[in-house]
Amino acid sequence: MQQWISHLSEQEVGTVLPNESMAKYTTWKIGGPADALIVPENKEQLSKLVRILHKQNVPWMLVGKGSNMLVSDKGIRGAVIKLGKGFEQTEFMGTEVESGGGTSFVSLSMMAGKRGLTGMEFASGIPGTVGGAVYMNAGAHGSDVSRVFKSAEIVLENGELVTYGPDEMAFAYRHSVLHETKGIVAGVVFSLSEGSMEEIKASMAAFKDRRRSTQPLQMPCAGSVFRNPPGDYAARLIESAGLKGMRAGGAEVSEVHANFIVNTGQATAEDVLTLMEKIRETIRTQNGIVLVPEVFFVGER
């Protein structure tokens, strides 16, 4: 066991799991082992953990629900941090809601809807954590995180705990300042509005029905693989190119939604990367459009 892993095991930083398979923690069910996966349970443990890793020059990354991530078959060198149950607390205060970074974004939207609070209906089909949604400025159905965001507590790379408002977050399409400034979203405050419970319920039901009929939710996948190019849709381009059903090893372009790549059972990260490149090359050749991945590749190549 590497020395830094032994050291962490002796500290109060949460559960330390050496040589942990990342396939357990991604919705694609793909990924080799991380040197260590650490699960802190509160902000104090998280800050301490990040400080130690920073001081010892150990590279680290965060995994939420693994819904937007492709992990290398060779795994991840360094530490992977996964927020524990202590980061799944939610408290409603009038029209505001404070939620831990590890909270399910779908669950939060449902809790808000049941209280007659509107603004988070779009989140009812985004299968990640609150922290991941803030990091990505996740969105759907014409809305996104930036529309309801008030503030976030963030643990920076040196372990410092800071509070960022909308200006500091620099939200843009599927982007936040955390793409440039490394940090972990420990908690978030969202500002919602009072609404009609009937209308909220109807909207969320419609979104759910649409997801069921248009997305291959019964198979391991990671949501949309490519961002929509300006003025068009990645799924339309891929389907128009006749790429539905194209395969590379165990990875397949979904027959249900062309911008989804599914794991048919034994797909590797290399299978997915190969298929992604085939799609990009085809669209580049046929349409002159360079598709930009929406999923992140992490780990050792």
Which residues are the active-site residues? 174, 224, 294
Which residues fall within 8 angstroms of residue 194, CB to CB, at 6 or more apart?
Answer: 95, 116, 117, 118
Sign of CA dihedral 150, 104, 267, 245: negative
Q: Nearest-CA neighbor of 246 among 266, 229, 226, 260?
A: 260
Placement of tokens 């014409």 in the chain: 142
Q: 3-class DSSP state for residue 231?
A: coil
CB 257 within 8 A of CB 222: no
Count CB neighbours of 59 within 10 A: 11
Amino acid at 222: A
| Apex 227 CA angle, 124 and 79, nearest 5 | 75
Sign of CA dihedral 208, 172, 87, 297: positive
